[in-house]
Amino acid sequence: MALSSFLQTAKPRAPSSPVDAWGDPQLRLNLGGHLAVWCEKPASNITTDALPWLILHGGPGGSLGPQQVVPLRNCELSWFGFDQRNSGLSEDLPLQDLDIQRFVDDAFQVADKLNIERFRILAGSWGATLALMMAASHPERVRGLVLRAPFIPWRARVDAFFASLESLAPSLFAQTFGARARTLEVCQQVLESEGDQALSMCALWAQLEEALLINASLPPKANPTVSIPEDQSNQQRLLRKYKLQAHFLFHDSFTDPNQWQSDISVIAKHRIPLHLVQGGKDRVCPPAGAHLLNELVPHSTLTYLADAGHLSSPKSMLDALTQAVGQMRWR
- Of 232, 178, 186, nearest in space to 209 by CA: 186
pLDDT of residue 20: 58
CA distances from 219 to 164, 211, 216, 266 (A): 16, 10, 9, 46
Are 84 and 110 a contacting pair, CB within 8 Å? Answer: no
**Tell me, what's the pLDDT at 222?**
47
Position 208 scores a pLDDT of 94
The reply to whether the predicted model has a pTM over 0.75 is yes
The predicted structure's pLDDT at residue 9: 62
Dist CA 326 CA 84 (whole Å): 26
Phi, psi of 153 (to 5 degrees): -85, 55
The CATH-assigned architecture of domain 3-153+255-328 is: 3-Layer(aba) Sandwich (3.40)
| Residue 28, burial from CB neighbour count under 10 angstroms (0-12, 13-18, 19+) | middle
Task: Give the helix/strand (H/E) hosting 270.
Answer: none
Helix, strand or coil for residue 79? strand
Residue segments in the chain with a per-residue pLDDT below the cut of 70: 1-21, 44-49, 216-224, 330-331
Cβ proximity of 147 and 171 under 8 Å: no
Q: What integer pLDDT is reported at residue 61 of this predicted model?
A: 95
The Cα 181–Cα 189 span in angstroms is 10
Residues 44, 141, 291, 314, Cα dihedral to 10°:
30
Q: Based on the number of CB atoms within 10 Å of its own CB, is 120 exposed (0-12), middle (13-18) or buried (19 or more)?
A: buried
List, as one string, the DSSP characters of 145-190: EEEES-----HHHHHHHHHHHHHHSHHHHHHHH-TT--HHHHHHHH
Domain range list for the chain: 3-153+255-328, 155-253
How many Cα atoms within 13 Å fall on the side-chain side of residue 196? 2
Position 237 scores a pLDDT of 95
Q: Could you tell me if 215 and 281 are in contact, meaning their C-beta atoms sit under 8 angstroms apart?
A: yes
CB 138 within 8 A of CB 157: no
In a 13 Å sphere around the CA of 253, the CA atoms on its Cβ side amount to 23
Q: Where are the beta strands (DSSP E) in the chain?
A: 27-30, 34-40, 53-56, 79-82, 119-124, 142-148, 274-279, 301-305
| Cα gap 208→217, rounded to integer Å | 9
**How far is it, in rounded angstroms, from Cα 329 to Cα 47?**
9
